[in-house]
Structure 1
């Protein structure tokens, strides 16, 4: 019996390790110019690329054109990358992007190529243009017509997203009139969260924001739960297609009317 239990335990540990490795392998390391990191642009791009491709973005500081540090993609001023494709610009300079991989058949090269293609595409340009901290647009597409600063339109099924929102989120959040009296008083409603300036990031990366990591699993994205820390509630198990549908639904929700700001005499 003991040997049987040991065999089962060993198999479980190996399976968990394999799943965790799979989630980590789907990532691209981007060596970005420090200005793009400090401005918040990389933090803006990462969850949107993940939502579109299921590939994580790990941002590291750009050092040189040789791609030191194991970077898969370089994103820096064109002066440093004269052979790279122009990707975006600000008022002072243009930034270019290219893959560091010569073997196009490698998985890392595939992920790198997808990031480069995405960032230089119309959707990528719209995503860059939508980055406007404090309401001020900072970056623009490097070439071509002006991008839509509202960002790319959601591609998910909004009708399905409403059902999934009620199923997955409705046990804690008020999603809408459908469950108006069923949310927890300590959690904001979807309508209230739509008033947040960063609502899109909050919704698209909710599984990274506490307390969600302790009970949320997204196939091919999140790592398995720590066996020593089981979920405190029934786990929420979903896919990126589910999240895309929820994002499409949330995009169509009107922000809650919270009234005029309080005026102090």
Structure 2
């Protein structure tokens, strides 16, 4: 009898607990209506014991454009997953980007419309972008707000943090414009950045850990104009493994 009870105890302890609070995932109507979430979310939960449910107010979201990780595509539209660094959200992101997650997406057969693809190349074309901001003002604002961490140019080349890329390196990236336009939503910036009319005020119980970066959309346009005029760093040829 004791052996039976012990086996039963071990079996129960190895079974995922479903009493934990579920993580919500918001998605466009075309994704929710397709049935894809009803296909992939229970499979992830069964595999990990982490409950993820469709929720229009969820902490995670599937969106049509960056920032976020491109996770699958349908009819030429690429959907991106936005998460925070919370461990359970990171686990879901890693699963969806894994071979198992990709196969789970591609094994779904919708009742109507095209199937989903989880294996694709995200082609980012370099565009000639017209920026209306004041580049000179943007340089001053970049030094004031960003120079504490990033190397902006020769004037502060010895003052940036080694763990943060310089503006020249960021300018060399194909999606540099998207990165700068949405920088306030990309970690670690949300913790200390306020954009007038865009971001919510800091909660009283969670103030900025450092002197906050406060700017307007006009200021952001000026910084974009400054970065657009920068010479991109030469990052060399991609590494090739033999």
**Greater Cα radius of gyration, structure 1 or 2:** 2
